Structure 1
Amino acid sequence: MNVLVLLAIILCSLMILIGGKKGTKSFISLFFNFGIVLLSIFLMTDPQANPIIIAIVACTVISCINLFFINEVNSKTITAFISTVITITLLLFLIYIITDKAMIQGFGEEEIDEILSVYSLYLGVDFVKIAVAVIIMSTIGAIIDVSISITSSMQEIFHRHPSINRKELFTSGLTIGKDILGSNTNTLFFAFIGGYLALLLWFKDLSYSFGEIVNSKIFSSEMIMIFCAGIGIAVVIPIASWVSAFYLIRVREKSQNNEASK
């Protein structure tokens, strides 16, 4: 526990020192997000609850915390929030279909040890919906990060070039997104794989063949999370670019019309 407290103090100090007020809000938001995730887990254990709806509501609240609490309510956070909601909605249908067809729900053989095997694994919940909820909540952070990066950059471009048209602004957003796409996708890959490095070493000790590793449920579910998160990042780029371009140009046109009417 002392190590955890020490690391938390170091992280908090660095975030306040480097990020100032925004860094402080970012550190506080970590606890808010943890509380939302923990509450979602408890709610999902209720057989009458729908895990997908809980995950969507949780992701919406997390988006509000990460965007509006940290960066306040402004044009870039509003457009980033709209882009995030649209992307998650579109991604939901793809995730549900893939999860159902791939049959990655439930526990894998590697996750059921001798102690757990003596207990009943019938928990009274829909594991397909649980798997969908897990993937959605695993991708939300990356989608929020990309959307705010694009909308923030596009707002800066718009302020530097207030006469820019909608098409040029949208193209600029796509160009920014292309640079973000590769780095964020690789970040996701190493973050997920790094968390399961011990499992890969265990596969080696068990003399699993390459085919057995690829076809194992736990490995497949992890790779599906990576692919879905990557798809979410790719999809949010044009959506955030279009929403931001539409919003900024619409505000400019409305302002010009108000000035002309005076």
Structure 2
Amino acid sequence: MNVLVCLAAILFILMVLIGGKKGARSFFALFLNFGVLLITIVIMTIPNANPIILTFIACTAVSCINLFYINGVNSKTKTAFISTMTTIVILLFFIVIMTKKAMIQGFGEEEIEELSMFSLFIGVDFVKIGAAVIIMSAIGSIVDVAISIASSMREIFNHHPFISRKDLFTSGLSIGRDILGTDTNTLFFAFFGSYLGLLIWFKDLSYSFGEIVNSKVFSAEMINILSAGIGVALIIPITAWINAYVLVKTRDKNAL
């Protein structure tokens, strides 16, 4: 416990020194996000609760915390929020269908031994739970890309106030291309970092490459990464278009 407190204190001090008040808000936002996730998980265990609707509400709350609480309510955060929610809705429909087809819900055989003493008849839809897990895993990256593009496009517009909508949109896409590669790699290495023990276990059990690829645990995590990557890719043109539309429309309206 002392180690956790020390690490949290170091993180808080660094965030305040580097980010000032916004850094302090970012630190407390971590606990707010954790609270949202904890409440969502508790409600999900209630019989007949719809995990998809709960996930959408949780994503909305997380987006509000990360955008409006940390960065304030302004044109950048508003357009980033609209872009985020649009992407989440598209992803929800895609991931629910994909989860049913891939049949990655539930637990893999590698996890059965630890769960054998518990009953899995808990009255929840594991297909929807699987889709909810994928969406919640992607929300952080999606919000991050949305606010990054919105903020960069605002700076471009401030320095070039008479830029055309098409050129502004193209600039947003150019910024997004630079972000896309690093974010997808971050998602990829986050998986291997968290599941390194599982990969070593596969090696000790002499799994063949085909057995690893077809195992439910590995497949579920790879689908998780790919779905999050799709979300990151989708948010780029959506944010760029919405920002270009709003900024140019506001400029033309003020010019009248």
TM-score between the two structures when normalised by the length of structure 1: 0.96
Equivalent residue number for residue 48 of structure 1:
48
Equivalent residue number for residue 121 of structure 1:
120
- Residue 68 of structure 2 corresponds to residue 60 of structure 1: no
Equivalent residue number for residue 197 of structure 2:
198
The answer for unaligned runs of 5 or more in structure 2 is: none
**Displacement of 1:159:** 0.2
- Residue 241 of structure 2 corresponds to residue 246 of structure 1: no
Partner Cα separation in structure 2 for residue 47 and residue 213 of structure 1? 34
1:89 alignment partner, SS class:
helix
Equivalenced residues, count: 256
Percent of aligned pairs with the same residue? Answer: 68
**Displacement of 1:112:** 1.5
What amino acid sits opposite 2:240 in the alignment? S
**Displacement of 1:117:** 1.1
1:83-112 C-alpha deviation (Å, 9 max, x unpaired): 000001111111011100000000111112
Equivalent residue number for residue 31 of structure 2:
31
Equivalent residue number for residue 144 of structure 1:
143
1:60-98 C-alpha deviation (Å, 9 max, x unpaired): 000000000000011110000000000011111110111
Equivalent residue number for residue 70 of structure 2:
70
Q: Is the Cα–Cα contact under 8 Å of residues 48 and 123 in structure 2 kept in the other structure?
A: no
**Displacement of 1:42:** 0.3
Runs of 4+ in structure 1 off by over 6 angstroms are: none
What amino acid sits opposite 2:167 in the alignment? E
Q: Which moved more, 1:115-124 or 1:43-52?
A: 115-124
TM-score between the two structures when normalised by the length of structure 2: 0.99
The answer for unaligned runs of 5 or more in structure 1 is: 258-262
Partner Cα separation in structure 1 for residue 135 and residue 61 of structure 2? 13
**Displacement of 1:116:** 2.5
- CA RMSD after TM alignment: 0.7
Q: Which moved more, 1:38-47 or 1:115-124?
A: 115-124
Equivalent residue number for residue 184 of structure 1:
183
**Where does 1:165-184 land on structure 2 (aligned, <5 Å)?**
165-184=164-183
What amino acid sits opposite 2:143 in the alignment? I
